[in-house]
Amino acid sequence: MPKGGAAPSDPGSSPGPFTPEVFFKPKKQRFRTAGGIASRRALGAFSRAVAAVSEDMELTASNLTVARGGVPVLDGVSFALAPGRALVLRGPNGAGKTTLLRTVAGLQPAMAGEVSGAGERIAYAGHADGLKSMLSVAENLQFWARVFGTAGIGAALSAFNLDALEDRLAGTLSAGQKRRLGLARLMVTGRPVWVLDEPTVSLDTASVALFAEAVRAHLGQGGSALMATHIDLGIPEADDFDVTPYRATPRAALRDEAFL
């Protein structure tokens, strides 16, 4: 548990932050939606799919030390994230939030300590949107649905207000539209644990609200979310976790801070 007793590519060239090696193929599900803006029917169908593959298992970090380039940036980090809960990492730029998320997601090893309840249960979304610029919005989601062995993209399109854009090439979208599409990929993975690094970058107020509603639907059906952000996500039920007390040393934390 945290100190103080608190609970807790480039587009067109490579798959981006979601990689098949990190994730498992979830059980096939079919989504049906009548369309519309963030329809509750679409979110409900997605939530039931998550519930079908979710396990009653906490994501835990125990006395974790994480590093960037071999230099420790956070030391002694412990927390528990139960199904149905969200945990928001807080801290200044360069504190080590991204490094912690990447370690939890299995994209880099920990220097010490351990993570449990992660592995093939995690869908990770980093700073890159991970889109194929010459594929349409619908084709991008269909690509990721095939990677994860799921079926149907209607729920993801509607939840992030992408229905009217489904035939547009991803490369022609605005920054905010690309971000919405990048986040919509979460909904076709079937993964119960979302690990998200600055998920609302480039989003306007209305789009942040769409994201918050999608997260709430995910939590409501037994999913969980670990997120790093500097803004209010509009999810008051989420717990905050300040990484600042766990910084290894001021000197180490400041090195290469663009990637922390």
pLDDT per residue as tens digits for the range 231-247: 899 899 999 999 999 99
93 or 257, which is more confident: 93
> Domain containing 48: what range?
3-9+28-259
Residue 149 lies in a domain: yes
Read off the pLDDT of each residue in 103-132 and give the average, rounded to a whole number. Answer: 93
Residue 23 lies in a domain: no
Residue 180 lies in a domain: yes
Question: Average model confidence (pLDDT) for the chain?
Answer: 82
Residue 228 has pLDDT above 50, yes or no: yes
Ramachandran bin of 202, using left for φ above 0, alpha for ψ from -120 to 50, beta for the remaining angles: left
Q: Assign residue 49 the CATH number of its domain.
A: 3.40.50.300
Predicted local confidence at residue 44, as pLDDT:
56
- For 133-156, letters b (16+ CB in 10 Å) and e give bebbbbbbbbbbbebbbbebbbbb
Cα 68 to chain centroid, rounded: 20
Residue 164 has pLDDT above 80, yes or no: yes
Residue 87 has pLDDT above 50, yes or no: yes
- Which of these, 189, 219, 196, 23, lies nearest to 119 by C-alpha position? 23
Residue 195 lies in a domain: yes
Tally of domains within the chain: 1
Residue 17 lies in a domain: no
Residue 207 has pLDDT above 90, yes or no: yes
Residue 18 lies in a domain: no
- Return the residue matching tokens 């939530």: 47
Contact by Cβ (8 Å): 246, 75: yes
pLDDT per residue as tens digits for the range 62-84: 999 999 988 999 999 999 999 99
Residue 82 lies in a domain: yes
User: What confidence category does residue 31 fall into, taking pLDDT thresholds of 50, 70 and 90?
Assistant: very low
Residue 16 lies in a domain: no
Q: Residue 153: CB partners within 8 Å, gap ≥ 6?
A: 31, 138, 141, 142, 145, 188
